[in-house]
Structure 1
Amino acid sequence: MQPPTLSAGALAGLKVVEMGQLIAGPFAGKTLGDFGADVVKIEAPGSGDPLRNWRLVKDGTSVWWQVQSRNKRSIALDLRSAEGQAIAKKLIAEADVLVENFRPGTLEGWGMSYEELSKDNPGLVMLRISGYGQTGPYRDLPGFGAIGEAMGGLRHLTGEPGRVPVRCGVSIGDTLAALHGTIGVLTALYHRHVNGGRGQVIDVALHEAVFNVMESLIPEYSAFGVVREPAGSALPGIAPSNAYRCGDGAVVLIAGNGDSIFKRLMTAIGRDDLGSDPALADNAGRVRRVAEIDGAIEAWTLQRASPDVLAVLADAKVPAGRVYTARDIVEDPHYRARDMVLTQRTRDGYDVEVPGIVPKLLGTPGSVRTSAPGLGDDTDAVLGEIGFSADAIAGLRARKVVA
C-alpha cells in the first residue's frame, strides 16, 4: 500500500465551520476536509458529537468516528450560551463555508440566521441539511436518514416482494444528502468566485436527496400509471441482472443485460439455444422470459464454486462479481492497489484501517492529514487564531463556555 499523500489538496485554504452532528452534516465536512479544507468542528462541551459513541467503541471512542472526523479540528463550545454564540459568529465571520444539520429554526433561535451571519461575511456559503428542508409544511418535523429513505421512495423498493421493506445496511439517506450538499457547496463557491464574491444558502432535504437518485420511478408512474414494486436482488425491467447462488454457498451478481453480453453469457453456461433465440435478442423479449433465463443461469452457477463461476465469466467478458463482506474488501488486492484501504494512526495510539478517499484527483489528490480529534483538542488553537489570549481562553473555560 502506498502511504497517504501529503499534498495540500484541491481545497487547501478553504475555511469550513461544521456545526452538525452524527452523519449528514459531518460527512459533508469530512469530504471537504479530505481534499484540503480546514474544517473546524464545533461540539458541545462534555458530550460532544454522539457519533463518538456509536456502534463499536475502542478505547472509549467509536471507530466510525476515526473515519468521519479525520482532517478536522475540534472546539468544544457551548452554543446555548450568549458567549458561545458570539464566539461561533466570530469563527463564521472568517469562514468560507458553514455546515449545519440542526432542525430548521435552531440557528435562527441562536441569532445565527444567514441574514445575520452574512452581514459580517457576505461571501459565506451555508449548507443546511435537514429532514424536510427549510420550507414547506413538514419543515418542523424531526427527520433522520431512515425517514428520508422512506419518503424518498427507496425503502419501498428494498426487500423481497410481499415482505416488509428492509434498510440497505448503511445510512444511505444521510450520505446521499451529504454528497448533494457537498456538490452544492462547490457549485456555490464557483458562483461566488465568478460573480462578485457573494455567498448563498444550500438547502438540502434528506428525502429529496434520496428522491433525486430514484431513476425512472416518477416518469413510469406518470406515463403508464405503474408503481414500481420491490424485486429482491433483480433489476426490474432489465434482464438478466440478478444474484445467483453458487455451489460453495457464495452469491454472485451477474449482469448479462446487454444484447451481445447476453449471447456471450448463454454460450458460457452452455445455453446457446437461449442465446440464439430471436425472441430473446433484445431486452424486451428477455424481460418477458426472465424467470426462465434466471433459472438457466442459476442451474449453471449451482454446479460450480464461485471462483470458477467468476473465472469463466471473466473470460467471456460478462460483468460479474461476488458479494463482498468487510473481510473480502480488506483482503482484496485491487482495493489495496488503488489505496482504498488506508492505515490511520488514531490519537488514542493504535492503528486502524479506514476507507480511502473518493474521488481520486490525479493532480491534487485528497489525503488523510490528521486523525480524528478528541473532544476540544483544538479549542485553544482555534480561539487563538481569532484573537483570544491565553487569559481570555482560561476565563471562558472557567465559565464553562469552552472545554
Structure 2
Amino acid sequence: MNAKNIKHPTTPLDTPSALQGVKVVEMGQLIAGPFCGKTLGEFGAEVIKIEAPGAGDPLRNWRLIKEGTSVWWQVQSRNKRSVALDLRQKEAQDVARRLIAEADVLVENFRPGTLEGWGMSPAELHAINPGLVILRISGYGQTGPYRDLPGFGVIGEAMGGLRHLTAEPGRVPVRVGVSIGDTLAALHGVIGVMMALYHRKVNGGPGQVIDVALHEAVFNVMESLLPEYSAFGAVREAAGSALPGIAPSNAYPCQDGWVLVAGNGDSIFKRLMTAIDRQDLADAPDLAHNAGRVARVAEIDAAIGDWTHGRSVRTVMEELGKARVPAGKVYTARDIAEDPHYRARDMILTQHTRDGYDVEVPGIVPKLSLTPGTVRASAPHVGDDTDVVLAKLGLTTEQIARLREKGIIQ
C-alpha cells in the first residue's frame, strides 16, 4: 500500500512537544532499540525507522496477529516513519549515512561490530555529524570479553541477577512474563540520550556514544544484592512473592484470587493487625519495628493468610482500604481494561491502525504537565515513508525508482 493513500490518525497538539525538533534514526529491531525510539517519539521526536525490505522488523510477526500484523507492533512503532533499506548493500548504507548526517540521535541494538562492518563506526559517523548522539544497546556492551556473544533480554535478566530471584524457593527460576531486560535497557538508553542531548545543548559539547548492556541495565535495579554479598557474604535467594528482610509484604490467598499486602511500615502494621482482628500482634513490643517482624514473618504471614482466605478479593480490598493498608489485586489484562482509574488517567487509549481497525493500547508514561506525550500517527507498514523521506534528502523520483528496481529500497 502506498503511504500517500494511508490516513494517519493524529492526536491534536494543544501543547508543545518536549522533543520537538529532535530527529532520531532508529536502526534497531524487536524490543530494546525500538522501545527507546517509541518513547522518544511519544514526546515529539521525529523517528525514522530503518528496517529491511520485505518482512521488516521481526516484531511485526510476534505474538498475536491481526490483519497480518502483530498488535504489539501497533504500540511499539506508533509515531514512527518506516524507511525500508537493505543495509547489506553499499548504496543503502550510503542512503543511511545521509539520513544520519541530518539526525540528532542514532539508536541501534545490533551485535557489536555490525555498524563498523557497514562503514558506520562512531568515528566515521561523527566525522559527518559531530553532534550525533549514538545509542548502542547490546547483550554485553561494546567492550569486555563477552562483547561478541549473542545476547537477548532473557540472558541479560539471568546474568543481571534477576532470574535467580524470580521463583518459589527450591523451584525453577521463571521469567517475569514480559521482556523486562530489553525494556530496562531501553529506558536506560532514553536516560542516556537525554543526558547527552542536554550536554550538547547546554554545555556546547559534541555528540557522544551511549553504551548500554542488557545485563547491566538489569543489574542496576537489583537493589542491595551486591552490597549484601560484599559486606556479609550473603547470597540472596528466591523467596517467591515475599520481599526478604521486609515484613509483612507478600501475596495472600482469597476465595477468588490473590491479594498483595504491604504492611511493612510500623504504623501500617499496627493498622493491618487491627483490621484482621489480631490486636495481640498489633500490640506486641517486638513487632513494633521491622527487625522483630522479620524474625516472626512466618507467624505474621500465616495470620494474614488465615484472614484473607475466607474472604473475597473485593472484601479484602475494601476492608484494608478502610484501614489505610496498601493492598492490591493481582490484575489480569481484563482487570486493567475494565479499571476506571486506568481510563481516568488516560492509560488506555484507542488507536486507529493503518489496517483499518481500532485497538486499545497503553497510554504514555511519564506524564508531563506542560509538554505531555502524544500519539500523532499510527504504526507504519514496511516502507510506508521511504519515498517521502528520501525525497526530503534530495533524491529525485528517478533516483528513488532506480533504488527500488535494484531492491535496495521498498
In structure 2, how many angstroms separate the alpha carbons of the residues matched to 1:280 and 1:58?
A: 54
Partner of 2:78: 70
Percent sequence identity is 76
The CA deviation at 1:302 is 1.0
Partner-residue secondary structure (3-state), 2:360: strand
The CA deviation at 1:197 is 4.3
In structure 1, how many angstroms separate the alpha carbons of the residues matched to 2:152 and 2:12?
A: 35
Aligned: 1:213 with 2:221: yes
Aligned counterpart in structure 2 of residue 172 of structure 1, from 144, 168, 180: 180
Partner of 2:352: 345
Partner of 2:251: 243
Conserved? CA contact 1:17–1:91, under 8 Å: yes
Partner of 2:208: 200
Partner of 2:272: 265
Gaps of 5+ in 1: none
Aligned counterpart in structure 2 of residue 304 of structure 1, from 304, 311, 317: 311
Conserved? CA contact 1:52–1:65, under 8 Å: yes
Aligned: 1:255 with 2:262: yes
The CA deviation at 1:212 is 0.1
In structure 1, how many angstroms separate the alpha carbons of the residues matched to 2:369 and 2:199?
A: 24
The CA deviation at 1:195 is 2.3
Aligned residues: 400
Aligned counterpart in structure 1 of residue 52 of structure 2, from 21, 37, 44: 44
Aligned: 1:396 with 2:387: no
Listed as ranges, the matches of 1:153-164 within 5 Å are 153-164=161-172
In structure 2, how many angstroms separate the alpha carbons of the residues matched to 1:258 and 1:22?
A: 41
Question: 1:228-263 deviations in whole A, cap 9, x for unaligned?
Answer: 00000000000000000112x210000000000000
Partner of 1:231: 239
AA at the equivalent of 1:289: R
In structure 1, how many angstroms separate the alpha carbons of the residues matched to 2:19 and 2:232?
A: 46
In structure 1, how many angstroms separate the alpha carbons of the residues matched to 2:263 and 2:241?
A: 14
Partner of 1:361: 368
Partner-residue secondary structure (3-state), 1:169: coil
Conserved? CA contact 1:52–1:61, under 8 Å: yes
Aligned counterpart in structure 2 of residue 323 of structure 1, from 323, 327, 330: 330
The CA deviation at 1:9 is 1.4
Aligned: 1:17 with 2:7: no
Conserved? CA contact 2:16–2:370, under 8 Å: no
Partner-residue secondary structure (3-state), 2:184: helix
AA at the equivalent of 1:160: E
Q: Could you state the TM-score of these two structures normalised by the residue count of structure 1?
A: 0.98
In structure 1, how many angstroms separate the alpha carbons of the residues matched to 2:49 and 2:345?
A: 29
AA at the equivalent of 2:359: V
Partner-residue secondary structure (3-state), 2:47: strand
Partner-residue secondary structure (3-state), 1:298: helix
Root mean square deviation, CA, Å: 0.9
Question: 1:85-116 deviations in whole A, cap 9, x for unaligned?
Answer: 00000000000000000000000000000100
Question: 1:271-303 deviations in whole A, cap 9, x for unaligned?
Answer: 010010001111000001101000000100112
The CA deviation at 1:8 is 4.3
User: Please, which moves more after superposition, 389-398 or 84-93?
Assistant: 389-398
Gaps of 5+ in 2: 1-9
Runs of 4+ that moved beyond 3 A = none
Partner of 2:3: none
Conserved? CA contact 1:41–1:73, under 8 Å: yes
AA at the equivalent of 1:81: Q
In structure 2, how many angstroms separate the alpha carbons of the residues matched to 1:321 and 1:117?
A: 49
Partner-residue secondary structure (3-state), 1:16: strand
Aligned counterpart in structure 2 of residue 380 of structure 1, from 383, 387, 391: 387
In structure 1, how many angstroms separate the alpha carbons of the residues matched to 2:172 and 2:329?
A: 26
Question: 1:126-174 deviations in whole A, cap 9, x for unaligned?
Answer: 0000000000000000000000000000000001000110000000000
Conserved? CA contact 1:96–1:125, under 8 Å: yes
Partner-residue secondary structure (3-state), 1:253: strand
Partner of 1:144: 152
Partner of 2:297: 290
